[in-house]
Every structure is written in structure tokens, then in C-alpha cells.
Amino acid sequence: MQNHAYRSRQLALPLAAVFAAIILAAGTLFGFAGAANAQQTTASSDRIWQDLKGDVFGDRAILVDSGVVRIEAPKRAQDAAIVPVDIYIDLAKTPDGIKSVTLIIDVNPAPVAATFQIGKDAGVTHLSTRVRVNDYSYLRAIAETQGGELHMAQTFVKASGGCSAPAVKNQDEAMATMGQMKLRQFPPQETMTKVQELQLMIRHPNNSGLQRNPLTQYFIPAHFVQKLSISQADRPILSMEGGISISEDPNFRFDFKAHGNGEIQVEAIDTDGKVFRNQWPLEAAGL
Amino acid sequence: MPIDRVRRKLVSGFACTAVSAAMLPCCLGRAALAAAGGVEFKVRNVADGVFALQGVDELMSAANQGAISNLGVVVGTDAVAVIDSGGSLIEANALLAAIGKITAMPVRYLINTHMHPDHIFGNAAFQEIGATIVGHHNLPRALEARGAFYLQSFRQQIGDALMKGVEIIPPTLLVDDRLQLDLGGRMLELRAWKAAHTDNDLTVFDSATRTLFAGDLVFVGSLPTLDGSLLGWLRQMDALATIGAARVVPGHGPVPADWPEALTAERRYFEVLARDIRKAIADGMPLSEAVKTAGASERGKWRLFDEYNERNATAAFAELEWE
């Protein structure tokens, strides 16, 4: 059973669609024999992507390494449950900005980790979050420009196997504190600018539901934050759909350009339909 | 078998031959194993009726046959309890063979101290002989979430041959808080802890000899790994230290070790790690940067530091950000 790869052929939108779309692929996709071989696994990760991309983006052209988008993650992930990933947008190369960024983890059971919509004029150039990675895999960021072009960057991550499993570390604590939020506001790095950084943290087990109980073979029920919107003065900064491979206690750090002094509002909805809301006054940007 | 006879019968050491599918039937029969080649498993007598198999300070591999954690054996007048089943069936069967040389008493209990593969991959060997598997009340849930991943990732790490017959087998006798097991002439006191090394840590105290089997709540010499809660571990260390043990069998490191001195270095490491991570968080440093330097002053003081420190720092950062 453990040699089977499961993957979704769709964006992780409605949960039912995710499960309906899970496909049990043959274990031969993965180089399971012997110690993981980076070369083989790079190739097998790429094969998964080649099969997957049409399902996610149709037959649209995807420009690779054009410089519009960049992705960074550790070459060797230390903890498979918490792999930091940074996505950078170069506004100089895309003057009209970016509409959305889709984060893909080829080998995960549901490869579309999350799709982020970026608010017009929000000025987001850097987004960092943490994801679960099940195996050696490419992480890909596909950015869609306002003009509808797709640009992709990728980085290969050797997810540490061993006993660092992509699972919740302290399940009781995760359930007891679910829905708590914390917002950190970092002042602008340079004076005379309104670009500042925010870090939003949400307590949630964010269980992908794609682990199988080895005894019963049943999937453990999914329970994750599948919709998130962050706005300031009622203008959207960043929203997320999907989120199936985002680490427990979802954590997002990003820069943005404040408009006026309106408060920052957050709404999150999980797969059980629970809604979590919070708001914070905007801390004075260094003017 | 009287305990003093057991004590005199020190098991010197034996070996299991190289991994081979053809050899497995002989291992399963608990027969004495051939000593040609392979890994030697030394079971030593640490107190009256108390034995331990010391693991090597390495990652699990085909070469060490998964034997990286310390396993324990307590012999009563009626029955035997084994603490942890090891990282492979080969290791588990080698341990059972060694027990067969020590005593004719049946192995009635296998106690799993927590969820990690080096402590539970040999469970099938104990189920096979009808032992009751005992664990923390959170252990079945933890194995449900991780079992399939462990089987997959360790197949990559240690190879098909050593994974042969390995199954994820959860405990059937669960410890909510405390539980006593009567082995005849001696009581084992089991205690379930709140999240620390994992969220399913269990300790075993043999009241007859005051020997504490600490599982991975105690690492000596080999870097502790964090897969539960750093704050929980630090918070419970005082309670752990008050256990009136004469000696400890740590989850990893020399067997036995002095008690409670065995906790000193581990506590220092976690305090250093927490201090470094808290400073990074206060400075607004992102996780990906902070983990590169946190705990660095402890390098050189631990085996497997480079294998595990960054991982510990990653987990610690994600936890301490919520303070």
C-alpha cells in the first residue's frame, strides 16, 4: 500500500472534488528501491509535473525561469512537516503585477498546495510560508500576470524522511488552540516608504487528510484551512484557496503597501466550515 | 527462574547474520543465531533481573540493522517485559533469542515508549509470540497519522531486506496516566507524559531495582530530537528529575547512565536552543534564517548534532513563535 502514490488532478477547491479526483497511481512513479537517488527522483518528480500541468493550467504556455517569479526552499528539508518556502515576484519584470501564484509540490498526495490571489496594488513582492513535503520533490511557483501570462520557477527539495513525518506534532494542543491568530507587523526597512511586512499565524492542525491509516487503509479525515483572506482598509492584500499542504499552524509572511490607516482584517474558513475572523489596527508605518 | 540465577547468567553477546530473506525463518523461530558476520547485539545485565541492549549512535541503516535505540528487558518470577521492540524484525528477533538464553519465562508485555520507528519496527515479532503491546494513550493516533509514511520513508532509508516483515502495530493496552504491571516479584510502574519528545512518551520504572527506562525523554551523548513540544519537555524535566531512580536506561546513549545527572546536558541544550530561537523571533528573523545558527554553540558536544540540530530548531521556532 505504501508504494502507491495518490494525487489530485485538480486545484484543491471543494473538498469533495479533491477526494473525487484522487488517483491511485502505480508506485513505479517513485524510485522507491534502495536509498533515494536524487537524480532519479528529480526525473520522476518532473514526470509527475508533466502529467499534472495540463490538468491545472490546461494547454496554456508556461514560461520557465523568466525572472518574474522566484522560489526558494532548503535543498534538504530538515523537518518534513515544516518546510519553509519563499516566493519572490519581480515587479520590474511585470509592471502590471501578478494576479495569482500557485504553489505545487509534485509528489504530495494533492500536488496543488495552495493558490494565492494577490490584491491589485497591494504591492506584494515576497510571500513566505511553510509546507509539508512527503518525499523528494520539486516545489514550483507558477505566477499569473495581470495580462494572463504564466511564469514558473522551481526548486528541488530533498524532504528529510526518517522519523520527521509530515504530521501534527502535538495533536491535543493543536485542537485546543484552534482558531487563535497572531499578527506581527514589521516596520518598513527603508524610510519614506509605506512598504511593510506582515506575518499572519493561525492555530490549526491543518491536517491534509491524505495520510492513510495503515491498519484500516482508510484515509484520515481532512481538516485544514481552505480559504483565507487578508485585507487592509477593505482592500484585498492576499487570499488563499486550497491550502492542503500548508503546515500545521498556517503561517504567512509577506510585504505589502498600506493604503491609508485602515485596519487589517483576516477571515479563515476550514474544511469543517468553521469561520475564524480577526482584525488589528495598522501600526504606524515609518513615515 | 529466581532472579539471582538470572543475574549470574550474563549474556555475553551474540550476532545475527547478515540480512537475508532465507535466514528469516530461523530468526522467527527464536533459535540461537549464527555468529558469522552481521551485527553483534550485546545484551548487558544492568541490575538484578534487568537487561538492556544498547543501540549505536547512528541513523538507522542496513548496516546497523536498525539497532540505534536502547531496548530493555525486565525479568520477573512469572513473566518478562520488554521495553521497545527495536528498528527491525531482525533486531527484535535477536533480542527475543537473547531473552531465551536468560530465562524460560514468557515475554508477556512489550512496552513501546513512543511512536518512532527505531522503537516500534520490531513490534510484529512480539505480536507473533502473543505478548500484549502497551503504550501511551496517544500512541495509536500518532501511528495512524504516521505509519504509512514511516513504512515508505524507511524503505528508502534502510532497504527492502531490513524492512521485511515490519508492520505498524499499535498497542492494545493503553496508559492514560499511570499503570502498574506485575511481573511476579516486581512491579513495573508506567507513566504517560504530556507532549515532550513526542506527544506519546511513556516511561517505565522498575521498583525492585529502581531502574528507570526513560525512552527518548532522555538522550545522553547523542543529540535529543524534538518531535513533540520543546516547552512541554522543559516543563516536565523537573518532574522527571524527581523520579527516585538509582540509574536510567536512556532512549539513546550509554547504558546505564547516572540519575538524574543524565538530564543535565539535555536540559542545557534545550535551554540554549530556546534562548537562540527566542532572540531570532524577537529580532524578526524568518525561520529559514534562524535555524541555520540556533544552537550552534552546542556543536561538538553531541553526536549526530549536524543530523538533527536544524530540524530541532525548525520545530522549536514554529512552537516558540506562539509564546
Q: Is the pLDDT of residue A264 over 50?
A: yes
pLDDT tier for residue B258 given thresholds of 50, 70 and 90: very high
**pLDDT of amino acid A243:** 87
Please report the DSSP string for chain A in residue order.
-TT-EEE-SS-S-SHHHHHHT-EEE-GGGS--SSS--HHHHHHHHHHHHHHHHHHHHTT--EEES-SSEEEE--SEES-TT-EEEEEEE-TTT-TT-EEEEEEEETTSSS-EEEEEEE-TT----EEEEEE---SSEEEEEEEEETTS-EEEEEEEEEE--TT--SS-S-HHHHHHTTT-EEEEEE--SSTT--EEEEEEEE----B-S-PBPTTT-PBPPPB-EEEEEEEETTEEEEEEEE-TTBPSS-EEEEEEE--TTPPEEEEEEETT--EEEEEEPPPPP--
More confident residue, A189 or A75: A75
Average confidence (pLDDT) over B8-13: 36
Integer Rg of chain A from CA: 19
Which residues in B lie closer than 8 A to residue A2 (C-beta atoms)?
148, 151-152, 155
CA B54/CA B44 separation, integer angstroms? 8
Q: Which residues of B, range 107-146, sit inside 8 Å of A by Cβ?
A: 116-118, 138, 141-146
Question: Cβ contact (<8 Å) for A184 and B142?
Answer: no
Q: Closest partner residue to B199 among A130, A169, A201, by Cβ?
A: A169
**pLDDT above 70 coverage of chain B, percent:** 88
Count: domains in chain B: 1
Give domain status of residue B186, yes or no: yes
Give domain status of residue B312, yes or no: no
Question: Cβ contact (<8 Å) for B148 and A211?
Answer: yes
CB B165 within 8 A of CB B91: no
Q: What is the CATH number of the domain that holds B48?
A: 3.60.15.10
Q: Which residues of B, range 181-200, sit inside 8 Å of A by Cβ?
A: 195, 198-199
Lowest mean pLDDT segment, chosen from A138-147, B8-17, B84-93, B309-318: B8-17
Question: ipTM of the predicted structure?
Answer: 0.84
Nearest CA in chain B to A209: B145
Range of the domain at B108: 3-257
Average confidence (pLDDT) over A256-277: 95
Q: Is the pLDDT of residue B50 over 50?
A: yes
Which residues in A lie closer than 8 A to residue B294 (C-beta atoms)?
none
CA A69/CA A89 separation, integer angstroms? 5
More confident residue, A116 or A134: A116
Q: Is the pLDDT of residue A11 over 50?
A: no
**pLDDT above 70 coverage of chain A, percent:** 78
**pLDDT of amino acid A212:** 64
**pLDDT of amino acid B152:** 86
Give domain status of residue B50, yes or no: yes
Q: Each residue of B113-143: pLDDT tens digit?
A: 999 999 999 999 999 999 999 999 999 999 9
Whether a cis peptide bond, with omega within 30° of 0, leads into B260 is yes
Give domain status of residue B310, yes or no: no
Q: Is the pLDDT of residue A171 over 60?
A: yes
Which residues in B lie closer than 8 A to residue A4 (C-beta atoms)?
none
Nearest CA in chain B to A41: B156
Give domain status of residue B289, yes or no: no
Question: Cβ contact (<8 Å) for A166 and B314?
Answer: no
**pLDDT of amino acid A124:** 94
Q: Which residues of B, range 272-311, sit inside 8 Å of A by Cβ?
A: 284, 286-288, 291, 310-311
Lowest mean pLDDT segment, chosen from A56-70, A158-172, B197-211: A158-172
Average confidence (pLDDT) over A136-147: 95
Q: Is the pLDDT of residue B294 over 80?
A: yes
Per the structure block, which three cell numbers stand in for B198? 513526542
Nearest CA in chain A to B121: A163
pLDDT tier for residue B230 given thresholds of 50, 70 and 90: very high
Q: Is the pLDDT of residue A40 over 60?
A: no
Q: Is the pLDDT of residue B156 over 80?
A: yes
Question: Cβ contact (<8 Å) for B195 and A249?
Answer: no
Which residues in B lie closer than 8 A to residue A165 (C-beta atoms)?
145-146, 149-150, 153
Q: Closest partner residue to A161 among B157, B160, B314, by Cβ?
A: B157
**What is the topology classification, in CATH, of domain A5-280?**
Immunoglobulin-like (2.60.40)
Residue ranges of domains in chain A:
5-280
Whether a cis peptide bond, with omega within 30° of 0, leads into A84 is no
pLDDT tier for residue A210 given thresholds of 50, 70 and 90: low
Please report the DSSP string for A64-121 in residue order.
ES-SSEEEE--SEES-TT-EEEEEEE-TTT-TT-EEEEEEEETTSSS-EEEEEEE-TT
